[in-house]
Amino acid sequence: MSTNGSTMPSPQVLYNLENPVFCCYLFWATVLVVKMLLMSLLTALQRFRYKLLGLVPLGLRRKIFPNEEDLFFKNTEVQFNDPHVERVRRAHRNDMENILPYFIMSLIYISTNPDATVACNLFRVASLARIAHTLVYAVYPVPQPSRIIAFGSMLLITFYMAAVVALRTLSFI
């Protein structure tokens, strides 16, 4: 595993900024991390019910919090079942179920030294599909099959990467 430097060739290092595939991964993984973290803020927004598309009059605003210490205002109660809040939370959970395994899968996929054009476009399509997923699920609900298409795009890309990696490392089972 360790090399002597002078006579042996240097080991191939794929996880640094000289590898354009890794750089492309860095950019789009960062976009998805930011998107995921914004879901927390979107949930908080929904808890205060400032609607994203048109402000609601002050009297109709509702504050829905799951913990007693979160009740900033006197006229509120602990509540769990607001449909707008729960929708954002389901979208957030779906992100965790899909994007977090994708982060690991695409990171280790880079170690197989894939073709740069293929790999970069997979990263781009998967990331844009998940942004679309959030828009049609949590921001502005749109009839199916828009969400299933967005969901399936990243799923299929992750399965493709899994197939590539598993076939390459099958002898280490």
Which one, 59 or 170, has the nearer CB to a copy of itself? 170
82, amino acid identity: D
Q: How far is the CB of 40 from a copy of itself (least distance, A)?
A: 6
Note whether 50 and 56 are within 8 A (CB). Answer: yes
Residues 67-86, one symbol each (x = binds a copy of itself by CB under 8 A, - = not), give: xxxx-x-------------x
Between CA 104 and CA 100 the distance in angstroms is 7
Q: Is the Cα dihedral 140, 146, 148, 153 positive or negative? A: negative
Which one, 27 or 55, has the nearer CB to a copy of itself? 27
Q: Which secondary-structure segment (H or E) carries 153? A: helix 146-168
Binders in 43-62 for a copy of itself, by CB under 8 A = none
CA neighbor of 123 nearest in space, from 140, 99, 142, 89: 99
Q: Looking at 46-54, 55-63, 153-161, which segment touches a copy of itself (CB under 8 A)?
A: 153-161
Alpha-helix residue ranges (DSSP H) falling in 69-145: 83-109, 116-134
Q: How far is the CB of 67 from a copy of itself (least distance, A)?
A: 7
Binders in 91-150 for a copy of itself, by CB under 8 A = 92, 96-98, 100-101, 103-105, 107-108, 111-113, 120, 137, 141-144, 147
Q: Which residue carries 């595939």 as its tokens? A: 21
The one among 52, 66, 117, 149 contacting a copy of itself by CB under 8 A: 66
Q: How far is the CB of 49 from a copy of itself (least distance, A)?
A: 18
Q: How far is the CB of 63 from a copy of itself (least distance, A)?
A: 13
Q: How far is the CB of 64 from a copy of itself (least distance, A)?
A: 14
> C-alpha distances in angstroms, 26 versus 50, 66, 96, 125?
33, 35, 18, 15
